[in-house]
Amino acid sequence: MVIAIASPQTAIAHPVLSSRILGFLTNIAIFILNIATFIINIAIFIINIAILLIYIAIFILNTTTFISNIAIFIINIAILFINTALFILNIMMFVINIQAIANKIKGKMLIKRNYSDLFGNLV
């Protein structure tokens, strides 16, 4: 390509000058594109760091949730044992109440006889 240089007297064509100017302008354009690409790469790098930090935060939250779930599981097992003990105590209280009612009935009877409780013991 040849750039025409206009002078007051006549228009002349200078192929060497025009190729150098075009090469210089092309280099400037490539330089500007490289700067823009570099800025875009920095932005992508910052976004990647932010995503990495989010993943680390999610990992920490998942780890703490897992640990708290294990603790809740252990607490639930302890509550199960406590509830089992309370259930056994309730059964024992039920038996004791039945024995107390039986003793009251036996005490009010006119003719006393030998009665056995729920476990076969003579009362």
Per-residue pLDDT of the chain (123 residues; tens, 9 = 90+): 555 555 555 555 556 567 778 888 899 999 999 999 999 999 999 999 999 999 999 999 999 999 999 999 999 999 999 999 999 999 999 998 888 888 877 766 555 555 555 566 655
N-terminal to C-terminal alpha carbon distance within the chain:
126
Distance CA 84, CA 77 (A): 11
> How confident is the model at residue 89, as a pLDDT?
94
Q: Can you give the pLDDT at residue 76? A: 97
- Can you list the positions of beta strands (E) in the chain? 4-6, 11-13
pLDDT value for 13: 56
The pLDDT, as a whole number, for residue 60 is 97
Residue with tokens 């259930």: 87
The whole-model pTM stands at: 0.51
Residues 6+ apart with CB under 8 A from 45: none
